[in-house]
Amino acid sequence: MKNIKVLGSGCRNCEVTANVIAQAAKEAGVEIQLEKITDMAEILGYGVMSTPGVVLDGKVVHAGGIPGPDQVRTWVRD
């Protein structure tokens, strides 16, 4: 199971990012643990200065905007 965290204040882009990830995982038949992190100190701890950010299994893989569907599919499959 992949552990994915969406980092952000809870803005619309953060919600869309979380939904895109959940949908991609569902379509791929991959089980994930999806967590939304809104604590700014924790977000900055990952070095993310522009949200939404995405952390996959402890590693920042995206920051600053909604990731594209192809990019998300790659994350959940690999």
Torsion of CA 62, 26, 32, 30, to 10 degrees: -100
- The per-residue pLDDT for 56 is 97
Q: Give residue-wise pLDDT tens across range 45-64.
A: 999 999 999 999 999 999 99
Sign, CA torsion 36/74/1/32? positive
Torsion of CA 75, 27, 20, 15, to 10 degrees: -120
Would the pLDDT of 69 be above 90?
A: no
- Find the catalytic residue in 11, 40, 44, 49: 11
**∠ Cα 24 70 53 (to 5°):** 75
Whole-number average pLDDT of the chain: 95
77 falls in which pLDDT band (50, 70, 90)? confident
The answer to whether the predicted template modeling score (pTM) of the entire model surpasses 0.85 is yes
- The domains of the chain, with CATH numbers, are 2-77 (3.40.30.10)
Based on the residue annotation, tell me whether 28 is a catalytic residue of this protein: no
Based on the residue annotation, tell me whether 51 is a catalytic residue of this protein: no
- Find the catalytic residue in 4, 6, 7, 14: 14
